[in-house]
Amino acid sequence: MPSAIAITAHPDDIEFCAAGTLLLLKQAGWDIHYFNLSRGNCGSQQHDSETTARVRLEEAREAARLLGAHFHGPIANDMEIMYTPERMRQVAAVIREARASVVLTHGPVDYMEDHTNTCRLAVSAAFCHAMPNWTTDPPRPTYEGDVTVYHALPHGLRTPLRQRVHAGLYVNTTRVHALKRDALALHHSQKHWLDVSQGMDSYLAAMDELSRQVGALSGEFKYAEGWRRHLHLGFSATDSDPLKEALGPDCLVNEAFEAGLE
């Protein structure tokens, strides 16, 4: 059975940018995995760090259960996701456990460093999936086969320098949007935090609007998630696009992006 893993920084990041694609892959017969690197311990103005981490861990477990995904526990605190060999060994261990052929993660450039460093860790760990001399923590056996890395669109659909970002592949998440929303709603602790800290005026409405905006960028879908495919060199033998192959009519290739025009 083919396997896909979403690797993001914080609890609820997967629901914002990747849960729809995971759900569609599961419906297509794939094994799906859910991995947030951070415990989310700073995501509250009501509880202390330990309490917040405990609450958010249980919320993430419930969300993964609703999505039908294998849950992998966090390995760092908020703002402490650093690109180090120690962290990379931990991330590589999870990728090897999942035996993933698709890795979904943040974009290389995003609005905050936890996202950016998570991306770097996911890419490097995926690159090492078949290297027997790269030991993981805990030790996990290597596996052969191609791995394709896809990057989500950045928060706000812009780079930190406000440049507009488009996707190379749009995935139509309209028919699974309600379930994606239900999974995000399980992160109850985040409503107050996001309303106060980021002015998101209900995180559920914010996710709905983001999905609509990406759908509008596609020019065809009501709700969508956008992906940019990492260069295949060193990851796979051919320049394959397994998301497009697996999801077929639910995908739209942005030919202008693929041609390097945007």
CATH classification of the domain holding 180: 3.40.50.10320
Instruction: Give the pLDDT confidence of 78-122 residue by residue, as tens digits.
Output: 999 999 999 999 999 999 999 999 999 999 999 999 999 999 999
Predicted confidence (pLDDT) at residue 195 exceeds the cutoff of 80 = no
What phi and psi, each to the nearest 5 degrees, are found at residue 130? -115, 15
Cβ contacts of 139 within 8 Å, gap of 6 or more? 93
Q: Are 104 and 7 in contact (CB under 8 A)?
A: yes
* Cα 35 from Cα 74, distance rounded (Å): 7
Specify the pLDDT at position 198: 57
* Cα 119 from Cα 135, distance rounded (Å): 20
Predicted confidence (pLDDT) at residue 143 exceeds the cutoff of 90 = yes
pLDDT band, very low/low/confident/very high, at 17 (cuts 50, 70, 90):
very high
Specify the pLDDT at position 203: 83
Mean pLDDT of 2-22: 98
Specify the pLDDT at position 169: 98
Which among 5, 2, 15 is positioned nearest to 72, based on CA atoms? 5
Total domain count for the chain? Answer: 1
Specify the pLDDT at position 85: 98
Instruction: Give the pLDDT confidence of 229-257 residue by residue, as tens digits.
Output: 999 999 999 999 999 999 999 999 988 88
Range of the domain at 200: 3-258
